[in-house]
């Protein structure tokens, strides 16, 4: 006997996606305002540190001669820019860092490519390079002072050493990571070695190579400040030392702010260049 349709049990269709999957998809498609708010949250901790610094200076938890107030540092920073003093030091520092970075980048790229393409060369060169890279920048200072003196050459060579190591490692690993199928297709097309390098190897390894370039410049910028702290009569690092010697901690902190701001800005410029150069690797191009 047929059962009346009204008495049939109601069975709800199964959900196409489980609840947790739906919630995950909703989270991934969060509105832009939530993303923007999370960016504002990232400024919360620096603002709290700045507020704590101001309170500590106001109530003199630390002596003002040791830790001047943020307002004092800001006035000193404005004075340094208005008088033009900071521009001269910054010009000298940027000239040094780009000269050393260019030297380290050129040598590091050539060495990384050679080790990546030639297993025989890698077997001979890599152990020596590994030992060379383990010595910090300051470890080469006494030897280079004897070889090239204490002029600009010393600073350029030390900065170049700092930039060279990450460039070599990332270039070598990037070339080693090129998929074998790309090489096989190039051989089928009878590419020459130069065509293989220019059209297959370097484009495929561009991302890790560029990471090495960015890390190399970061290391070069850090080495610049260290070198100028020890052996320089001008530059941002020298300004820090000069302020410390005169016990002008506001000058020291103002110079530190400039170092951080310039390094951050230069890294963002490298990131924008990378984004533009890798447009062809993203969907839609």
pLDDT in tens, the chain (285 residues): 444 444 444 444 444 455 544 454 554 555 545 444 556 676 787 788 888 877 877 777 877 777 888 888 899 999 989 988 889 899 999 999 999 999 999 999 999 999 988 889 988 998 899 888 888 888 888 888 888 877 888 889 999 999 999 999 999 999 888 888 888 888 888 888 788 888 888 888 888 899 899 999 999 999 998 888 877 788 888 888 888 888 888 899 999 999 999 999 998 898 888 888 776 555 544
How many separate domains does the chain show? 1
* Domain membership flag for residue 55: no
In a domain, 28, yes or no: no
Is 148 among the domain residues?
A: yes
Residue 18 lies in a domain: no
Question: For the domain that residue 132 is a member of, what is the CATH number?
Answer: 1.10.3720.10
Of 123, 102, 214, 126, nearest in space to 166 by CA: 214
Does residue 172 fall inside a structural domain?
yes
In a domain, 227, yes or no: yes
For residue 214, tell me if it sits in a domain.
yes
| Domain with 212 in it | 71-279
**How far apart are the C-alpha atoms of 221 and 59, rounded to whole Å?**
36
């Amino acid at each position: 006997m047929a059962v009346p349709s009204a008495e049939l049990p109601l069975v709800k269709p199964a959900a196409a996606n489980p609840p947790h999957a739906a919630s995950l998809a909703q989270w991934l498609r969060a509105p832009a305002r939530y993303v923007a708010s999370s960016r504002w949250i990232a400024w919360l901790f620096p603002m709290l540190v700045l507020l704590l610094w101001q309170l500590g200076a106001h109530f003199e938890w630390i002596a003002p001669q040791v830790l001047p107030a943020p307002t004092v540092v800001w006035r000193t920073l404005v004075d340094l820019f208005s008088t033009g003093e900071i521009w001269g030091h910054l010009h000298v520092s940027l000239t040094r860092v780009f000269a050393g970075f260019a030297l380290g980048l050129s040598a590091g790229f050539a060495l990384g490519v050679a080790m990546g393409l030639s297993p025989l060369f890698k077997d001979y060169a890599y152990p020596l390079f590994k030992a060379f890279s383990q010595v910090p920048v300051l470890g080469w200072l006494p030897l280079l002072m004897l070889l090239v003196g204490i002029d600009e050459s010393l600073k350029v060579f030390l900065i170049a050493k700092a930039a060279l190591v990450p460039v070599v490692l990332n270039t070598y690993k990037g070339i080693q990571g090129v998929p074998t199928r790309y090489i096989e297709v190039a051989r089928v097309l009878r590419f020459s070695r130069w065509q293989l390098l220019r059209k297959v190897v370097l484009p495929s390894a561009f991302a890790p190579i560029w990471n090495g370039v960015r890390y190399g410049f970061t290391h070069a910028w850090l080495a610049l400040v260290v070198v100028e702290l020890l052996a320089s009569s001008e530059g941002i690092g020298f300004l820090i030392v000069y302020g410390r010697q005169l016990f002008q901690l506001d000058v020291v902190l103002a110079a530190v702010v400039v170092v951080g701001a310039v390094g951050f800005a230069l890294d963002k410029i490298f990131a924008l260049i990378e984004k533009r150069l890798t447009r062809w690797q993203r969907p839609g191009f």
